[in-house]
Amino acid sequence: MRRAPAVVLLILLGLLCGSAAALADPPVGIVVEDGAGVLDRTRLVSAVEAIDFYEPTRVAVFTYRGSADANLNEEVLRFARAEHPEWISGDGQKWADGLFIFAVDPVGRHVGTYMGEDRKVSLEQREDIQNASKDLLRDAQWTDGTIAGIRRGAELINQPWYRSTAFLVTAWSSLAAAVLGAATWLIVRWRTRADSRRELARGDTSYANVSMDLQVTELNAGTIPESSRYGSTVLEKHRSFLAKYNAATQLANQAHALTPRALSRRPNLKLVRNYADASAELDALDDVIADTNALLNRGSAWASAWDRQLAPFRSDLAALEQMLSKRHAAGDSATAAALRSFRDQSHREIERWSAELADGTISPETALDRLRDARTHLTELLKNHADTVIQGFAKTEREAKLMREEMESAQAGTKVKHGRTYEPSILGTVYPSYYFFSVPAFNTGFSTGVGSVSTARGGGSTTGYGGSGGSFSGSGSSSSF
């Protein structure tokens, strides 16, 4: 019985390898009709010629510039009837035998696959072929996306029964279940132990910093002026500092009491992560207490403290151009121009605030007010630009709503994987994490919004040939990307 898996493996290898050469047929012909003008014909033909099919197959590639509500199936059939009647069977009702058509509409964002009756595959397999190209097509890599789709088609069209997914799953299910179960268990435990050790090290670093600076933190807090709006709020955070430190100490003791074996368990990973997050927040807060004291009292380190308050804003300004240069980011819009203008003006304003703060023309609190107002203005500009991006990418109100929700979730910080984000600055301590809309949060909402909409668009297939198709019933379908 113990030899059975090895025997099965040898039989499968014999079937797969022994017949490989006999099933390697390059395309017998390639026709490229690039009406949309988006393909690198030389590279496409060269790549497709190197793809092997299971049976001699003619490959046709068709592109045209349609619209979101157009029927790609109908357009492919119309073009075939007018320009390539050899693509259609003699009775005019099917696609010709031995034919595989791959079609793309880069404007309407549709991709389609069509086959002769002796080459047809199931609807699910047609979707598989189309899906193989979509990531590349979404990124406007039209030639590479077409090649990927044709390559996947070659893997599925006339696929021998012993290479089918169903057969391989059936053949290996019993053996794989046991092996995979054991491997998964080992991998999960190993990964959990590694994550626990990493989180423990992160927690220890932060906890050591907090413990070492504990007395200094208390001295700094003792001289923060309570009359300051910023100082009083930071002092409120400090009042719970020792209680949080004691709680972190308890978590540290529990985490360090865990054996290496216990670190492999998921519940204990959560415990260690809580310890690391609590220590990291305390580590950030004691730095904010020190900066608040230095800045509001204009201590010897006030200039460095002020630079740390400017750092998040400067980071946002520096990241704007990269954000606006992304695809679908509406970088040439009026709201993008407003962001760029604000960036250039803000660089000048930062220099002016710093100079006035240095010569005593303005107080530290006024400087923080100006920084707060500038970041609030940036938040409004980013929200306006989010509306522009949504309007430009979404095709329906449902898609717009989906993107809007992703943007709002990113600003609120609900997409953070472990805990909430905490900005180690005076403004980040005084105001909640969702008060300012940062460029990284915008990028997160933008990326997830585009991804969610693109996934939703690709969720269904169109199989009919429209009003002009008549009684034509060739195997084929299209979907959005």
Q: Distance between CA 426 and CA 305 in Å, rounded?
A: 10
Q: What is the dihedral of CA 325, 328, 329, 332, to 10 degrees?
A: 70
End-to-end CA distance of the chain: 49
**Which residue has tokens 């005084």?**
430
110-115 vs 29-34, strand pairing mode:
unpaired
Q: Distance between CA 385 and CA 260 in Å, rounded?
A: 50
Q: Distance between CA 29 and CA 56 in Å, rounded?
A: 9
From first to last of its 481 residues, the chain has per-residue pLDDT tens of 444 444 445 545 554 454 444 467 899 999 999 999 999 999 999 999 999 999 999 999 999 999 878 899 999 999 999 999 999 999 999 999 999 999 999 998 899 999 999 999 999 999 999 999 998 998 889 999 999 999 999 999 998 866 555 444 444 455 555 555 566 767 888 889 999 999 999 999 999 999 999 999 999 999 999 999 999 999 999 999 999 999 999 999 999 999 999 999 999 999 999 999 999 999 999 999 999 999 999 999 999 999 999 999 999 999 999 999 988 899 999 999 999 999 999 999 999 999 999 999 999 999 999 999 999 999 999 999 999 999 999 988 989 999 999 999 888 875 554 444 678 899 999 998 889 999 999 998 998 888 788 777 655 678 889 888 899 999 999 998 8
- Express the helix, strand and coil content of the chain in percent, nearest 5 each: 65, 10, 25
Q: Which fold has domain 20-159?
A: Diaminopimelate Epimerase; Chain A, domain 1 (3.10.310)
| Residue boundaries of the structural domains of the chain | 20-159, 177-297, 301-454+474-481
**Which residue has tokens 């029964």?**
161
Using a 10 angstrom Cβ sphere, with 0-12 exposed, 13-18 middle and 19 or more buried, the burial of residue 374 is buried
Q: Distance between CA 320 and CA 324 in Å, rounded?
A: 6
